[in-house]
Structure 1
Amino acid sequence: MQFKRLTTALAVAVGGLLGLWLLSLPPGAFDQGFWATRTTLVYGSGVLALGLMSIGVILTARPVWFETPLGGLDKFYRLHKWLGISVLGFAIMHWVLRKGPSLISEIGLFSIPPKPAHAQELETGFNLFRDLKHPAAEIGEWALYALLALAAIALWKRFPYKYFYMTHRLMPAVYLVLVFHAFILIDRSYWTKPLGPVLAFLLLTGTTAALISLFRRIGYSRKAAGQIATLSLYDENQVLDVGVRLETAWRGHEAGQFAFVDFDDAEAAHPFTITSAWLDDGLLKFSIKGIGDYTRTLAGSLHVGQGVVVEGPYGRFNFQGDGDRQIWIGGGVGITPFIARLKQLLRVSRTGPIDLFYATSTPDSGFMAPIRQLAQQTGVAFHLVDGSKNDRLTIETLAAMVPEWKQADVWFCGPSGFGDSMRLAMVAQGLPTSRFHQELFDMR
């Protein structure tokens, strides 16, 4: 269901802009010969690239009112990635259509006909659109090259996150340059056609979001400050429990939600699932697995009393499904939202049976003991899938333990490959797609 939402959102964005552009063309726009058609396509590809980029920039400002229709902030970033890839395709098309004939003519294969003089080009005195046309074209070309470089870095997963974050902060500035490029060069007849109001809204909203990002105001109203109160490291699975005592107001959170956490160091804020239930006492807990360049250093760099800024909460991994029966699958550190839900169930009654599968290759007895205790206290059936003993959770092993699994809502959090394989296998054997809920959070 969540993937259908995202593909539908992408299709609406691309199809909507394409349809509005086609409706805005004059009759016979593609019957005027090669050069006129090329000019039309230059404008169209540019409009689609910038319109989709505007939507992507708007999503980076984390508008929480989009979380419900898209299914959570983790889905924002997946849609943002798909939009970025689409933008690249249309931007490259725009560049090829714009520069291709000139490059080919330079090697003597054909000559480009001279452009007809327009009335505004014969005017004297300052004219914004005429006099800034050449610099707008030049700066737009260089902005495109910057866009390609930044997008390549974003898609290269091995590029360190710290430096990816630093380079990606340039994207709003690149976007603003492209807005200027489009405003000066776009066919002004579009503004009075069906495309005009929608494109103007996207550019204005995108510009606002870009400025919010450049001035580092994203999520400002959702931030709370505090200090590290407790630190507990589980050596066997390299999970660090960080307890935070907030000193400013926090709006509260539900089990399964996450927050961006800034430990007042050189690194940017990272998203971590909140593993504590909210008791209105100012206390939050995060269980952080040392799996990346940054998270592996936290056990040695954090200390009690260190300042912390928490932004959130975000996410719609809320355990609200169609039926009473639920199956939870936590892979590795993906167990964290289920810990929070178990703690929440101590205070609220559950409506149906729940089976919790914890798949890990590094089981730590100290880390698992409170999970087992919480499961026992709340009546949740706990199943350990121990990868260190070559145990694997498959649809066959799950079905043997939970024969009625097709009537359950499945909540999965863990490695994306593991989740995708479970989802495909379960759906292939009869689980409705809408009953498989998967956390998709990926910053890139």
Structure 2
Amino acid sequence: MDTRRLKLVYLAVVLGLTLVWWAGVPSDTWGQGFWAIRRGLLYYSGLMAIGLMSVAVTLAARPVQIERALGGLDKFYRLHKWLAITATLFGVCHWLIEITPRSMVRRGWVEAPVRAPRAAEVATGFDPFRDLHELAAGVGEWSLYLLLALVAIALWKRFPYRRFFQAHRLLAALYLVLVFHSAILMGPIYWSQPIGPLLGVLMAAGSIAALLSLFRRIGKAHRAVGTIESLTHHAESGVLEVVLRLSTAWPGHRAGQFAFIDFGGAEGAHPFTIASAWQADGRLTFGIKALGDYTRALPGQLFVGQTVNVEGPYGRFDFHALQGRQIWVAGGIGITPFIAGLEALAAGGGKATVDLVYSTRAANAALLERLHRLADAGGARLHLLETPKDGVLDAERLAALIPDWKDANLWFCGPSGFGRGLRRALTARGLPAANFHQELFEMR
């Protein structure tokens, strides 16, 4: 699934919620003046905020049942991010629609609404919409302030990953507060409209996902335990090769998939691409590039025999079961899924015709020897470009290297900007958009 199709899914969720809400709005709402319009928009913004947030929270729980439909975990994490941002914006609009008219009344810009007198009511029994209304309204405003702070932390990529991890757990708790706020303030009228049952299902799914997060149960069914069997630090390229030996069940993985690894401590699990094909021997290899404080510190922290937790496998960057005509393009550490692909080809795990183009600033001699050996064994053709002397790979260079590129499925893993530029250039030259596959490996 490319990003264009992902955007269509995003729009379908937003427009779908809007249309279901619209179906229950009385036809004369928009002709009854300022306060009726304000009330309609207040409910719309609030219902959209909690509805979109519910879908986002559900996706954060990594439901593998929908991974195929959304093109892989990396894809629906991108969708999770878009929905969470949109939900927050609707929440801000909801707050502004709530408070701005009050200021307008104080300034004399609009007249206060005339409320019809109601007959005295005698409270009988517990009515959550009545008895919890004040509490639900009170927690809403403060929850929004905290939500904005936590979303900012989640989006600020320079913020430490462990704080991002902790912020997401707090967001799960905050979401449950907002479910309470929304369920009570929707009131009986909206619960009886088409939007009510839909939001009920979404909030129930989101609440389950939030509780899984709070109790650290996300991905539990896909976890395995192992130990570090070997460590090789390639200082010149900043890559740490970690070989794990699993001691509990692992379902196997396809070349190109990734897993979350928890090496212990407060940092939490990080996603890394699996750099080895599955040989049913319990071994997994990961190539970890020093890209931040955490990964730079790993060579001095990890040790052979250390216990680790692995969760996975995830992802649909799987080379279509290694069939047909394919071009693999790797940039830097993006070579890792292709090492697994070459191993699978060498072991007879597929019949794809493959050209591998590897663009890197500094080629590691041991890695190059391994790539050549695996490519020869699997019948793949290897093209190496060292950018300091060979220049940057672009569409023209690729077309010159591989004349039949328009007939192939192209799989790219590397810097996201590099991939976007190559995709635009190649599709403009005639490559079908559906034939360009790129891992959206950004979890925040």
TM-score norm. by structure 1 comes to: 0.96
**1:221-240 matches, cutoff 5 A:** 221-240=221-240
The CA distance in 2 between the partners of 1:342 and 1:193, in whole Å, is 55
1:127 aligns with 2:105: no
How many equivalent residue pairs? 443
The CA distance in 2 between the partners of 1:164 and 1:420, in whole Å, is 26
**1:4-403 matches, cutoff 5 A:** 4-116=4-116, 122-125=121-124, 126-320=126-320, 324-348=324-348, 350-389=350-389, 391-403=391-403
Deviation at 1:110, TM superposition (A): 4.0
Q: Which amino acid aligns with 2:245?
A: R
- Pick which of 400-409 and 81-90 moved more: 81-90
- Pick which of 210-219 and 162-171 moved more: 162-171
Deviation at 1:362, TM superposition (A): 2.3
CA pair 245-116 structure 1, distance change in 2 beyond 3 A: farther
- Pick which of 20-29 and 414-423 moved more: 20-29
Q: Which amino acid aligns with 1:382?
A: L
Q: Residues 260-279 of structure 1, C-alpha deviation per residue, up to 9 Å, x if partnerless?
A: 00011231100001111112
Contact 1:321 1:435 in 2 (8 A): no
CA pair 361-93 structure 1, distance change in 2 beyond 3 A: same
The CA distance in 1 between the partners of 2:8 and 2:95, in whole Å, is 28
CA pair 162-60 structure 1, distance change in 2 beyond 3 A: same
Q: Residues 13-68 of structure 1, C-alpha deviation per residue, up to 9 Å, x if partnerless?
A: 00100000000112212111110111111011111111000000000110001110
The CA distance in 1 between the partners of 2:434 and 2:182, in whole Å, is 41
Q: Which amino acid aligns with 2:121?
A: L
2:29 aligns to what SS in structure 1? coil
- Pick which of 209-218 and 317-326 moved more: 317-326
Q: Which amino acid aligns with 2:25?
A: L
- Pick which of 97-106 and 379-388 moved more: 97-106
The CA distance in 2 between the partners of 1:130 and 1:349, in whole Å, is 64
Contact 2:227 2:304 in 1 (8 A): yes
Once superposed, what is the RMSD of the aligned Cα atoms?
1.7
The CA distance in 1 between the partners of 2:232 and 2:292, in whole Å, is 19
2:327 aligns to what SS in structure 1? strand
- Pick which of 315-324 and 93-102 moved more: 315-324
- Pick which of 24-33 and 318-327 moved more: 318-327
Contact 1:323 1:408 in 2 (8 A): no
Q: Which amino acid aligns with 2:47?
A: V
What is the match of residue 434 of structure 2? 434
Q: Residues 158-195 of structure 1, C-alpha deviation per residue, up to 9 Å, x if partnerless?
A: 22222122122111111111100011111422222222
Contact 2:323 2:351 in 1 (8 A): no
Q: Residues 404-423 of structure 1, C-alpha deviation per residue, up to 9 Å, x if partnerless?
A: 11111000011110000000
The CA distance in 1 between the partners of 2:408 and 2:390, in whole Å, is 27
Contact 2:143 2:174 in 1 (8 A): yes
Contact 1:236 1:363 in 2 (8 A): no
1:278 aligns to what SS in structure 2? coil
2:157 aligns to what SS in structure 1? coil
1:420 aligns with 2:416: no
Contact 2:321 2:350 in 1 (8 A): no
The CA distance in 1 between the partners of 2:301 and 2:198, in whole Å, is 48
Deviation at 1:390, TM superposition (A): 5.5
Q: Which amino acid aligns with 1:132?
A: L
1:320 aligns to what SS in structure 2? helix
Deviation at 1:303, TM superposition (A): 0.3
Contact 1:67 1:73 in 2 (8 A): yes
The CA distance in 2 between the partners of 1:394 and 1:199, in whole Å, is 47
TM-score norm. by structure 2 comes to: 0.96
Contact 2:322 2:349 in 1 (8 A): no
CA pair 390-115 structure 1, distance change in 2 beyond 3 A: farther
Q: Which amino acid aligns with 2:395?
A: I
Q: Unaligned stretches of 5+ in structure 1? A: none
The CA distance in 2 between the partners of 1:288 and 1:139, in whole Å, is 43
Q: Which amino acid aligns with 1:179?
A: V
- Pick which of 299-308 and 273-282 moved more: 273-282
Deviation at 1:226, TM superposition (A): 1.1
Contact 1:129 1:185 in 2 (8 A): yes
2:419 aligns to what SS in structure 1? helix
The CA distance in 1 between the partners of 2:244 and 2:117, in whole Å, is 67
Contact 2:413 2:438 in 1 (8 A): yes
Q: Residues 200-233 of structure 1, C-alpha deviation per residue, up to 9 Å, x if partnerless?
A: 1001111111111111100001000111110011
- Pick which of 161-170 and 139-148 moved more: 161-170
Q: Unaligned stretches of 5+ in structure 2? A: none
Deviation at 1:441, TM superposition (A): 1.4
The CA distance in 2 between the partners of 1:105 and 1:285, in whole Å, is 65
The CA distance in 2 between the partners of 1:274 and 1:352, in whole Å, is 20
Q: Which amino acid aligns with 1:243?
A: V
The CA distance in 1 between the partners of 2:290 and 2:360, in whole Å, is 14
Q: Percent identity?
A: 51
Deviation at 1:372, TM superposition (A): 1.6
The CA distance in 2 between the partners of 1:280 and 1:388, in whole Å, is 40
Deviation at 1:249, TM superposition (A): 0.8
Contact 1:43 1:187 in 2 (8 A): no
Q: Which amino acid aligns with 1:414?
A: G
The CA distance in 1 between the partners of 2:101 and 2:111, in whole Å, is 9
CA pair 99-173 structure 1, distance change in 2 beyond 3 A: same
Contact 2:347 2:378 in 1 (8 A): no
Deviation at 1:281, TM superposition (A): 1.2
- Pick which of 255-264 and 109-118 moved more: 109-118
